[in-house]
Every structure is written in structure tokens, then in C-alpha cells.
Structure 1
Amino acid sequence: MNTKESHTKFIKSEAARLGFLSCGISKSGFLEAEAPRLEQWLENNHHGQMAYMENHFDKRLNPNLLVDGAKSVVSLLLNYYPSQTQTAETYKISKYAYGQDYHFVIKDKLKELLESIRQNIGEVSGRAFVDSAPVLDKAWAAKSGLGWIGKNSNLITKSVGSYYFIAELILDLALDYDAPTTDHCGSCTACIDACPTQAIIAPYVVDGSKCISYLTIELKDNIPLQMKGKLDDWVFGCDVCQEVCPWNRFSKAHQEPLFEPHSDLLSMTKKDWQEITADTFQKVFKNSAVKRTKFEGLKRNIDFLGS
């Protein structure tokens, strides 16, 4: 086994040990195919008020601007599909927010992986990324063969669907690279047909400013009145395009204790949501990604649905 091969094998086995669903590696470099698509998406204002999407355009497309001498992008998937879901007929939050905030859970695993690489391989320069820096994570995951980007713009994998987080390590270490997989959406339009706000304006193109996740999390203003009756009882995020995706029938429950929901969450009724207090919010969502919208933002979403 040559050095590159042994290093690659070690990183993948360590990723599995840390609980990652899968690990794919691609050669660092400029994302040529994604550049015009990202430019067009921004020009069409599909990012709404997410002004940060306009920042660091070059860095989003070139990991070498984030890590000097970058040679490899290690993409990792972490399953969050829950074993239990909320009761029927209630206000809903996206499944990824059931447990503790994934940023912290994954960052800890990535730090451990990077430390393990340094201890076993040597002085490796690199950075860990979880949704918090200008990295096109889905593009890199697809490039490294972990799945394909579906018509709903999510990364989809034949064996497990799409209920997982994507994270990266960008390293100045040459490794063996994986090949991309093929698109298996075929003629299916389930996600396009089911989107409550028609945010998927064409196959593979999502107008982020119409997406329920954007409206309930990113949007700081009042939710536009034309969205009345279209939020499908979602108060934080939305899973509709994943729920209807045929590939998600292969989803299996995660094994991560930190992603288990607070016991009160799964039994909350619409009345409980409508009467939620700041204290209850703090208790149920203490370490959750739901804190991103803050108590006032969550109340705004609940009031919009109930008015």
C-alpha cells in the first residue's frame, strides 16, 4: 500500500469510528462548473436577505483561498434522521433541529479527526468547516462521490436518502480521490410538485427567498402576506421536499445521542406552541439550532400560522 493510499484509508476509517455516515475525498481546486450557476443565482436574488451569500464569492469556489497549499477536500456526512417524530397535527420543526445544534456536535468530531490525522500522519495543515464558512459543501460532497445534487438542490444518496449534515476538512495533504456518482432523480418531480411555496422554480433551481426554511429562519422582517396559508404548519425550517423524495424511504435512524430531541418537543400540540413562553423555549431548545431564530422569531412564525 503506498503512502497516499494508506493515509486515505486511515482518514476514512477514523471518520467511520467517529460516527460519520460516509467519507469521500476530492482534489482541491476551482469549482469551474459551479461558478456561473452561483453567479446567476445571486443575480436573480434567489438568496433574498441572505446578504452573506454575496460575500467571499472567490473563496466559495476555491478552497485554496481558505487553506494555503490545499490539496484535498474531505467531505463527511452525518446522519440526523430521527427514530421518533413529532405528533401529527402540530406545528413542525425541521428534523435536523430536533437535538443539539449540529454545528457544535460536528465541529467536535472534525477537531478530533484533524487531531487524529496529525498524530498519525504528521504535520498536516487544514481547517474544518460546518456550514459556517464560504464552502459549497454539497458541490464538494457530490464531487467526491457521496451522492448527487437532486432537483430540490439537496445532496441525495441511493443507500440513505438525504437526511444528513455535510461537513469538510480542507487539507494540504495529497490523498486518493473518489469519482462522482451519477444523477438518479430521473423523471421524478415529487419535490417540485410538493413544495408548498413553489420555491423549486425549475429542476435543480431553488428560489431561496420563497423557501419555508428561509421564511422561518433567515428572514428578519415580517413574513410576506402572500405566503399566508402556504407554510404547511412549519415554524422552523421545512422537510417537505425530503419527505416526498423516494430515496428517503431508505433513511435509517441515527445513532447520535446528542441528536435526540428534548422529551417535551415530540408531544407539543398546536396549543402548546401557541402558548409557548420564553422559559419553555429556553428549556426545550436550550442547545438546539432553533435558537437561531430566537424566541421572538419563533413567536412571529407561530403567530403567522395562527392568525
Structure 2
Amino acid sequence: MNLEQKIKEEALRLGFAACGIAEVAPAESEAIYFDTWLANGMHAGMTFMENYRNVRLNPAGLLEGARSIISVALNYYPADLQPQDVPQLAYYAYGRDYHDVIKEKLNELVDYIRREVSINARCFTDSAPILERYWAWKAGLGWIGKNTHLIIPGKGSYFFLGEIVTDLALIPDRPMESMCGKCTRCMEACPTKAIEAPRTLNAGKCISYLTIENRKEIPEKLAPLIGNRIYGCDTCQQVCPWNRFARPTTEESFKMKDELAEMTADKWYALSREQYTRIFKGSAVKRAKYEGLLRNIANYKAINFRKEEEQNTNTYK
């Protein structure tokens, strides 16, 4: 095997579902899209997206002498789901924080490469100004769907992405053509119509943004549309036909904690700071902070209360 093949084989051995290689170069085809998205304010309160533009559009700025990007995907699709009658978390938040899990695996992959050749490298996973989905596409892992998720053929979109930026000159893989076709199920199913055009997500309407990154009150018009979600949203992935190929992850770290699985609606309503700290220790849910999660739970409770009132009214008519 050549070095590229060896790297991919080792990535699979470490548990990654896919691995590909791209040449470090300016992301020219993405620049207009990215700049337009920012100019239209679709990043909402995520002002950090305005920073480090040059690095976002050219990862050469992340490592001196950078020549290649090794892109990987790690499956997080859960084997067991929360009951539907309780407040819902996005699937990716069921287990341990993916940043830690992927970083560990990427470091192992770098160590393996170093045993083969001399290498300078930096590892990233949603932790640097780098267009992860773009580079995963350039590395041939899949294509960016209309819902903005990377879709891997025959596997779906329930994947975390990670990158190794290195000074090695590796043979790049070919980008993949989109296979979304005429399908618009994700756009039609989005509760808040946040996908305003193919690959154009208005974060200010997105339930994931509203329940995680958003530090303000949820807008009054959007609050009822959030439904039973208290951290993130999976709707645009759940309706995607390509996710019929999704298979449960074998990564033990991503499995739901027992205490989380036992949470009822009443337990969520009474969630204390101590419980929050214990249940979500080492979890991505910490991103929303305790106060943000309470805000989301209160919204869920208000929606349920209105539903019960409507049902009672209809019963006694």
C-alpha cells in the first residue's frame, strides 16, 4: 500500500467511517457563498464567524508549509433513542463531547503517520476557523446536501467531521457530485423554514442555533415551532432519504448515559444545577449552559401547557 492507503486503513481501524485527502488551496468556490451568507446576516449572533476570514478560506494559515488536509468522519447515530414524550436532545449530544473523542483519535492517527514518515500536523474538529464540510467534500467523503450537512453515500449524514492539516504532499481524492437531485424534503420539513434555499441556512431561524448558541430569549414567533426540542434539532436529517442507510455507532463514548435515558418530563422541569453538572459532565450540552437549557425547558413546558388547554377545550365543547 502507498502512504495514502495506509492512512485511510488506519483511520478505519481507529473507528472512523470515512477518510479522504484534499490539497491545501484557497476555497475559491466557497468564498462567494460564505461572504454572501455573512453579508445577509444569516450567521445571526455568531459574530465569531466574521473572524479569520482568510484562514477560513485558505487553511494554509493554520500550519506553516501546509500542503494537505486529511478529512475524517465519525458516526454518532444512536442505537437507542429518547422516548418521544420527553424533551428531546439532538442525537449528537447523547454521549461524551465529540471534540474530545475525535481529537484523541486524530492524535492517534498522526502518531501512526509519524511512525511512517516525518510530519508536521495540527488536528481540528469544530475547533478552528476551517470550513469542515467543504474540505470533507474536497476530500471525496461525500457532498454537501441542501440541508447543509455532509452526506456520505450509503451511510447518511449523522457524522462528526475532523481534519489533520499537514505539510505532507499527499495524493488528493476527487470531490463528489451532489446526489440530492430534486429532493427538497429537508427544506419542507424544517419547522421554522430555516433552510431558505438549497445550502442556505438562516441560523437566526434554526432550532439548533436558537436552543444552543443563542443567549437571548427565543423569538416569540419561533418559540411555539420548536416543539419538544430543548437542545438542537435533527429534523432535516431525519427526513433525508440518504439516512435510511444510517447504522448505529459502535463508539461507546457516544452512547446515552443511563441517567439521561431515565429523564422524564417532570425530572426535566425540576432539573437542578447539580443534576445538570453531573448528567452533562464532559458533554456537548454544556455549550448551552444551565441557564440556556432552563430557558429551553420552560419553552417546552409552555408549549405542552397550551396543548393541554386546547385538548381540554375541545373535550368540553
Do the two structures share a fold, i.e. TM-score over 0.5? yes
Aligned to 1:141: 136
Aligned to 1:153: 148
Quick one: which of 108, 111, 114 aligns to 2:110? Answer: 114
Q: What amino acid does structure 2 have at the position aligned with 1:201?
A: E
Mapping of 1:1-307 within 5 angstroms?
6-122=2-118, 124-307=119-302
Helix, strand or coil at the partner of 1:290: helix
Aligned residues: 302
**More divergent stretch after superposition (280-289 vs 229-238):** 280-289
**Distance across 1 between alignment mates of 2:223 and 2:57:** 37
Helix, strand or coil at the partner of 1:75: strand
Aligned to 2:308: none
Please report how far the alpha carbon of residue 70 of structure 1 lies from its aligned counterpart in structure 2 after TM superposition.
1.1
**More divergent stretch after superposition (63-72 vs 247-256):** 63-72
**Distance across 1 between alignment mates of 2:5 and 2:153:** 23
* 1:21–1:79 contact (8 Å) kept in structure 2: yes
**Distance across 2 between alignment mates of 1:156 and 1:267:** 32
Q: What amino acid does structure 1 have at the position aligned with 2:107?
A: K
Please report how far the alpha carbon of residue 242 of structure 1 lies from its aligned counterpart in structure 2 after TM superposition.
0.3
Helix, strand or coil at the partner of 1:299: helix
Please report how far the alpha carbon of residue 270 of structure 1 lies from its aligned counterpart in structure 2 after TM superposition.
1.8
* 1:87–1:268 contact (8 Å) kept in structure 2: no
Q: What amino acid does structure 1 have at the position aligned with 2:71?
A: S
Please report how far the alpha carbon of residue 170 of structure 1 lies from its aligned counterpart in structure 2 after TM superposition.
0.6
What are the ranges of 5 or more consecutive residues in structure 1 without an aligned counterpart? none
**More divergent stretch after superposition (273-282 vs 295-304):** 273-282
Q: What amino acid does structure 1 have at the position aligned with 2:133?
A: K
Please report how far the alpha carbon of residue 266 of structure 1 lies from its aligned counterpart in structure 2 after TM superposition.
2.2
Please report how far the alpha carbon of residue 204 of structure 1 lies from its aligned counterpart in structure 2 after TM superposition.
1.4
**Distance across 2 between alignment mates of 1:267 and 1:246:** 30
**More divergent stretch after superposition (278-287 vs 68-77):** 278-287
**Distance across 1 between alignment mates of 2:53 and 2:299:** 34
Give the TM-score, by structure 1 length. Answer: 0.96
* 1:87–1:267 contact (8 Å) kept in structure 2: no
* Cα shift readout 1:141-168 (whole Å, capped 9, x = no counterpart): 0111111100100001121100010100
Q: What amino acid does structure 2 have at the position aligned with 1:62?
A: N
* 1:71–1:174 contact (8 Å) kept in structure 2: yes
| Structure 1 runs, 4 residues or longer, greater than 6 Å off | none
**More divergent stretch after superposition (86-95 vs 275-284):** 275-284
* Cα shift readout 1:169-213 (whole Å, capped 9, x = no counterpart): 011101111111111111111100110111000111110111001
Aligned to 2:313: none
**Distance across 2 between alignment mates of 1:145 and 1:10:** 17
Helix, strand or coil at the partner of 1:208: coil
Give the TM-score, by structure 2 length. Answer: 0.93
What are the ranges of 5 or more consecutive residues in structure 2 without an aligned counterpart? 303-317
Helix, strand or coil at the partner of 1:283: helix
